[in-house]
Amino acid sequence: VNRPAAYIAAVMALTGLDWAQLSGDEPVVVLEQLQKRAYKSIRPRTYEEADAEASFYAALSPRSGPRLLIDAYRPGEYGGTGQRADWAIAAKLARLRSILLAGGLTPDNVAEAVRTVRPWGVDVSSGVEQAPGIKDHDAIRAFVSRAKTAFEEHRAL
């Protein structure tokens, strides 16, 4: 979180990653320097706040696919809190833009989240942990399977 663009680009080159998720308070210049290879995580409290940030970041990153990840707002924290994002805000935004949804997603609620919000994609961290920082492989498999099924159902409509 909050790393310079050169550091992020070096990690991406070393690991072969295509995109970087900027989850902190990175200045706009970091997103500009990474060009089409990054998207911003936002933690909006209201739809108006989400829409303003979405418009701002979309103008900085003119490419197809998601430009934003919608996460839960929790003062002073940058994600991985287990707190659920506001699905009403996310769904309203998803009608206008391609978004990724995060925030409190688990194997038990990811299908409902996909059906309700209709995001471009989903993101999970603490929702598949057996203990803080330790991922549960069965939970990951269940999450991916249920998310894929919900996305396939959505696309079939």
- Sketch out the chain's domains with CATH numbers: 39-156 (3.20.20.70)
The partner residues of 129 in beta bridges, in order of sequence, read 135
End-to-end CA, the chain: 38
Which tens digits make up the pLDDT trace of 132-151? 999 999 999 999 999 999 99
pTM > 0.85: yes
Which tens digits make up the pLDDT trace of 83-122? 899 999 999 999 988 899 999 999 999 999 999 999 999 9
Angle between helices 47-60 and 87-94 (to 10 degrees): 40
Q: Could you say which DSSP state residue 135 is in? A: E
